[in-house]
Chains A and B, each alone.
Chain A
């Protein structure tokens, strides 16, 4: 290990190197990844915003770094970027809260 941090920003540049230890799977992954982000039924810009939101819900520093830059490159404004993150946050918190119904079901079942 070159340093004492779990996360190092310069490691993002090495992402492509994962292929070196498993060429077939790495190549298949990057081919798939590249294809996913191409313009399709969604624009590349829309996909970048989805990626930015997911990067935050996954709390992946590399992805946040990469897709902040990527969305800026596509002319996305900071207001749009923040709104996208709120969508992710709303789903995250909604996903937590909707499980509250499980708790309610259980309480209702257990209590007299």
Chain B
């Protein structure tokens, strides 16, 4: 058990705020000694090295690392003390890309994306591009955090935004332990408000999905079974409905890596990930159909690589030079954290990936 922290690793000037230090940890120890195979070695066994992109389907834009919460497992190391925020200039560069992309999904994430002062303008402009699926990853509590956010459910509805929200458990204790005191009650209120606008209701086109992350050093259970349990409990206890549950594995980076090391669970967790390696998940990992864009416009294979500072291995590395054809002809950068996306049924921002 670890104490809930209220500052990001960056603010605390922790050594794990440094991406290179994280990559070092992930490459040393049990992987350096050969006790466990590196991810590269593992995917070579099934002739899946190097990992290459397939058709681009998802543009994921991280509009800033600022957040009203300091969740224990956060791979972004987000929090109120993070000041990295996408500027209007970078947003305009993103909009140029959004208008011309072949991707069918636009996925805004953070931090709490709503805390970017230009968030609403950006959503309004981006929604004009007519992208099929427009996701905003909302942490729910932001809707209740301040009066200026109270109308977010209406704003989302107006722009037909697909809301994807984190909810680690249907009980207060487990949720608050991971995400902070009072988060559960505020999340429940926010979900009820979204439901009141039609979000998450059966047959409603206003999509509301939940994301489940395990509360510690273990892998997520079966996504379908978890969804059933979540739906039953939230309906019975709070009359809340939602569409899908995405069960996402915690990747061993940033604050979750910090937790694993501090709680002496790191090696066991890496064993779990490697033992649960599923080659059929490799074929569909999200980096094969996603481009991740950081608050300052750099391009990455995924949000995790973004946090590890691993820019795409391509001539095109920044949104200002964006070219989908050139970008698609690249090798995806990997390290041992990638085991998190290939364990069991696989894991991505859209849930499990194995067919």
Instruction: Give the interface of A toward B (CB within 8 A).
Output: 9, 13, 43-45, 69, 72-75, 77
Contacts and interface: CB of A to CB of B under 8 A. Distances in A.
B309 interface: no
Contacts of B271: 13
A13 B25 CA distance: 22
Residue among A45, A72, A73, A74 with the most chain B CB within 10 A? A73
Given A13-B271, A13-B275, A74 B225 contact: yes
B155 interface: no
Given A43-B225, A45-B225, A69 B218 contact: yes
A81 to B, nearest CB: 12
B226 to A, nearest CB: 6
A74 B220 CA distance: 7
Contact of A73 (B169, B173, B221, B229): B221
B221 to A, nearest CB: 4
Given A69-B218, A77-B173, 10 more contacts: A13-B271, A13-B275, A43-B225, A44-B225, A45-B225, A45-B229, A72-B214, A72-B218, A75-B221, A77-B169
Nearest to A65: B268
Nearest to B168: A75
A4 to B, nearest CB: 21
Contact of A77 (B174, B220, B222, B275): B174
Nearest to A68: B218
A5 B178 CA distance: 35
Interface of B: 169-171, 173-174, 214-216, 218-222, 225-226, 229-230, 268, 271, 275
A75 B225 CA distance: 9
A43 B226 CA distance: 12
A92 B222 CA distance: 32
A75 B216 contact: no
A74 B224 CA distance: 11
Contacts of A45: 221, 225, 229
Contacts of B215: 72
A96 to B, nearest CB: 34
Contacts of A69: 218
Given A13-B271, A13-B275, A75 B229 contact: yes
A13 B268 CA distance: 10
Contacts of B226: 74-75
A95 B106 CA distance: 61
Contacts of B275: 13
B225 A73 contact: no
Contact of B218 (A9, A44, A73, A77): A73
Contact of B219 (A43, A44, A73, A75): A73
A24 B112 CA distance: 55
A61 to B, nearest CB: 14
Query: Would you list the 5 A-B pairs with minimal beta carbon distance, nearest first?
Result: A73-B221, A74-B221, A69-B218, A73-B218, A72-B218
A45 to B, nearest CB: 7
24 contacts: A9-B268, A13-B271, A43-B225, A44-B222, A44-B225, A45-B221, A45-B225, A72-B216, A72-B218, A73-B218, A73-B219, A73-B220, A73-B221, A74-B221, A74-B222, A74-B225, A74-B226, A75-B169, A75-B170, A75-B226, A75-B229, A75-B230, A77-B169, A77-B173
